[in-house]
Amino acid sequence: MAHYMNEDALVGGVQPRIWRQVRERAVPASLMQICLRHIGPSLGNARPIIGIDASATIKHCVRMQGESGALSMFFERLCRLLTLPATIFFIFDRGGPLAGTSHVDGTRAGHYTFAHAFSRECLEIIADLGFTWLASAGEAAADLAILEQRGAIKLIMSDDISPLIFGASKMVCWPSNDLAVNGDPVAVDLLHSWRIRRDDLVLVALLCAGKHFQGFRVSSDVAFRLRAYDLSDDLVRLAHAIVSPAEHLAARQAWRQRLYDALAHDALDVLPKGADQLSADKIPINFPSTAILNLVRAYYNPLVDLTTPVPQFQGSTKPNLAGIIHTVYRRFYPTPAGFPGLRQLTRRLIHSFWPGVILYGRHAWNGLDVASCSALRTGFLYFGLDLPPALQLFDPVTVAGSVRQPGTWRGISGARIRVDTEPLISAIARVVRKPVQAVTYENASTLEMCIPYAVLVPTHPLAWFLLPPPASEFEGDVDSEVESSEVDGAL
């Protein structure tokens, strides 16, 4: 998987140079497989909980797509998350998405200006898709890291390196090209903090400057190589030392001298040649400054709310169908050119939004009448034969069965189904106040899609029922998703 990313596309608190170095050590993974791996053999309500840094996600969409396409990218990403058998919730930086944003170093993130301008639209999409959002007591990345350390959440998703700096053991981010990888719409890059120690990551962040610029910086390559000199441990101890001002000044000067010697003389012969002496001569006399040491302390003792509530799965989420249709219609197709524009709206919702509603029993949503829900039926393909569409979607708590992933039962390489889209088309017509013929297109009444699992009901041995997978505690570690040989190779 390619890990290229435009430097201007980096979000959040750490500069692109560090992000690119960490991404090069990432391992391709699938959120779907991560979720399914940790779902147990019995049907239940417990699902893995994924916390998402909403502020970083919004800013990443702005930087990648600009003002015109940011919300569209945000919507597409959330639709992909809707297909996961997981509880998803978003955390915004201090004050929520509509407040000013500040980070642990006291600086305000002015580049969030446009992101805040359309955060209300993002909130509407988050709520309409049935997700939960919270406002952090400080920086969202810090809250997520603490929640993961406490075991309250099992996975962090962010487009910023900050959760790892705050102490998260693992996190995932979208692939840099943001396209489906090998046909997997929820492919991600899995990042492990143990590949780069947290202390070393803090040191690299400070030496590469970025928003932490104190009159001195080195390249990311040099910063990562400086880890060999054990400067990070002493820097952290220096930041937390409780000594007299004179002793503290002496310790800072000693640390600065060690940094100077490493750059100027490179006794371990680990640095690239050519610019070492030049970098050493630029070290300020007061480096590391008090501001830098305060920042290091803030990374290890961030402002977090230890009582942050984490939403527990209480059944299927309930997307607000009318709200989603209205938002997409108003934001993406405000002046459709007659029927073609409305049909583009329908096509987009069928292929982006509807699969998430169909999967995992999300057939009890707001904005669609109960009769349509109960009448929703599915056609099944079995060895190329289209079975009669006489099988309804069942409530997961009333049907007992065993989970079979595609490729593990009777040689089936993949489970494909045809689903009825007429309830969605009818809802679109009601919201836009047009006849059904105006919003539909050829072959729009059904959608053929893949499912990552199926439940085989013993009484119907030839039928694959579309059901939420059984759930249990999210046991084990996401690291197990990667074979040891792959991990060693990624290093």
pLDDT for position 358:
73
Total domain count, the chain:
3
Whether pLDDT at 95 is above 90: no
pLDDT for position 277:
59
pLDDT for position 349:
93
151: left (phi over 0), alpha (psi -120 to 50) or beta: left
**How many residues does this entry show for the chain?**
491
Residues 259 and 263: their CA atoms lie apart, in Å, by 6
205 in a domain, yes or no? no
Question: Model's pTM, two decimal places?
Answer: 0.73
The reply to whether 33 and 150 lie within a common domain is: yes
96 in a domain, yes or no? yes
pLDDT interval class at 179 (50, 70, 90): low
What percent of the chain lies above the pLDDT cut of 70? Answer: 59
pLDDT for position 405:
38
CA 436 from chain centre, in angstroms, equals 36
Characterize the bridge pairing of strands 87-92 and 132-135: parallel
339 in a domain, yes or no? yes
pLDDT interval class at 74 (50, 70, 90): very high
pLDDT interval class at 134 (50, 70, 90): confident
What percent of the chain lies above the pLDDT cut of 90? Answer: 6
- In tens, the pLDDT along 25-73 reads 788 888 887 877 655 444 444 578 899 998 888 888 888 887 778 888 9
Whether pLDDT at 132 is above 70: yes
The reply to whether 85 and 131 lie within a common domain is: yes
Min mean pLDDT across 41-50, 75-84, 432-441 is at: 41-50
The reply to whether 143 and 30 lie within a common domain is: yes
Whether pLDDT at 354 is above 60: yes
The reply to whether 54 and 189 lie within a common domain is: yes
Whether pLDDT at 312 is above 70: no
156 in a domain, yes or no? yes
Whether pLDDT at 120 is above 70: yes
The reply to whether 151 and 44 lie within a common domain is: yes
pLDDT interval class at 385 (50, 70, 90): very low
Whether pLDDT at 295 is above 70: yes
Q: Decide if 403 contacts 455 (C-beta within 8 A).
A: yes
Q: Please report the DSSP string for 221-290 in residue order.
A: HHHHHGGGGTHHHHHHHHHH----HHHHHHHHHHHHHHHHHHHHH-TT--SPSSSHHHHHHT--TTPSPH
Kindly state the tokens that stand for 379: 């056609």
The DSSP letter of residue 102 is B
CA 369 from chain centre, in angstroms, equals 32
What lies within 8 Å, CB to CB, of 451 at 6+ separation is 359, 406, 415, 416, 417, 464, 466
pLDDT interval class at 108 (50, 70, 90): very low
What lies within 8 Å, CB to CB, of 216 at 6+ separation is 209, 282, 283, 284, 287
The reply to whether 222 and 326 lie within a common domain is: no
The reply to whether 45 and 137 lie within a common domain is: yes
194 in a domain, yes or no? yes
The reply to whether 188 and 223 lie within a common domain is: no
294 in a domain, yes or no? no
Which is more confidently placed, 103 or 11? 103
Q: What is the mean pLDDT of residues 270-274?
A: 78
The reply to whether 309 and 278 lie within a common domain is: no
Burial class (CB in 10 A: 0-12, 13-18, 19+), 381: middle
293 in a domain, yes or no? no
Whether pLDDT at 75 is above 90: yes
The mean of the pLDDT values for the chain is: 69
Q: Please report the DSSP string for 115-180 in residue order.
A: HHHTHHHHHHHHHHTT-EEEE-SS-HHHHHHHHHHHTS-SEEE-SSSHHHHTT-SEEEE--TT-S-
pLDDT interval class at 409 (50, 70, 90): very low
Residue 337's alpha-carbon distances to 60, 134, 136, 239, 334, in angstroms, are: 31, 39, 43, 62, 10
Range of the domain at 271: 215-288
The reply to whether 129 and 17 lie within a common domain is: yes
- In tens, the pLDDT along 195-240 reads 678 888 888 888 876 556 667 788 878 888 888 898 988 888 888 8
CATH number at residue 38: 3.40.50.1010
208 in a domain, yes or no? no
Which is more confidently placed, 49 or 398? 49
Bridge partners of 87?
49
The reply to whether 139 and 219 lie within a common domain is: no
Whether pLDDT at 109 is above 80: no
In single-letter form, the type of residue at position 196 comes to I
To 5 degrees, how large is the angle CA 362–CA 367–CA 373?
A: 50
The reply to whether 165 and 24 lie within a common domain is: yes
